[in-house]
Amino acid sequence: MNDTTYLARRDTIEHYFDRTAADAWARLTSTAQVSGIRATVRAGRDRMRATLLDWLPADLTGTRLLDAGCGTGALAVEAARRGARVLAIDLSPTLVGHARERVPEELAHAIDFRAGDMLDPALGFFDHIVAMDSLIHYARKETIGALGSFAARAKRSVVFTFAPSTPLLATMITIGRLLPHRDRAPFIEPIGEQRLREAIAGNRWLERWRCGRTERVASGFYTSQAMELVRS
């Protein structure tokens, strides 16, 4: 995707996760003790990861899966345990480095960890594409563009998350903006579910796809909503 807004936001996200908060993010996604607030985020992410994995076949043998925005690799590892050949990509080389260090030796051959853009068409085609919390920093237009890019390369399903537009999330975002600047994440872009569905239905790149299951996970300072796209 060459959209200038997407590219600008992508660069901001890369800087945050690779430089500003790489150590904090590595700790959050480990088993190390964290603060109460971050513990709720960790618990919410664990629930969301389990939800997305539940929407995939229990046996992924012979399938190719893209973990778009893999972070430190937890979802990629679980997909590989089910037999998938996983391409796990993230904007942050630092987080990808942590992912490579954490992958169990017996699964290392099944996961190709890369640092780069999840929308790069050179990554090829996949049976399933999973984008957990990697689209939440983009506005609706860029999110739909990303989903169109995924749909062009997915054979069976695209499962992703978005930040639902709710009063509670709006309050948490406001509080988050008051935190010290050096730890501040790129702004989360809430999207109303109905408006997202309408945008998906009206996009020509997604005309052969329909919305399937959806589920919201709220855990303290973590709120995210999963949605499934399947071929019509």
**Each residue of 56-114: pLDDT tens digit?**
999 999 999 999 999 999 999 999 999 999 999 999 999 999 999 999 999 999 999 99
Residue with tokens 């997202």: 196
Alpha helices in the chain (DSSP H): 4-15, 22-28, 36-54, 74-81, 93-102, 140-151, 167-176, 193-201
CA–chain centroid gap for 213, Å, is 17
156-211 pLDDT, tens digit per residue, is 999 999 999 876 655 555 555 555 554 555 678 999 999 999 999 999 999 999 99
DSSP string, 36-49: HHHHHHHHHHHHHH
Identify the CATH number of the domain defined by range 4-231. 3.40.50.150
In sign, the C-alpha dihedral spanning 42, 43, 47, 53 is: positive
Per-domain residue ranges for the chain?
Answer: 4-231
Tokens read off for 176? 């988050």
Q: Is 124 left (phi over 0), alpha (psi -120 to 50) or beta?
A: left
pLDDT of residue 17: 87
Residue 210, Cβ density class (10 Å: 0-12 exposed, 13-18 middle, ≥19 buried): middle
pLDDT of residue 168: 60
Hey, what amino acid is at 195?
R
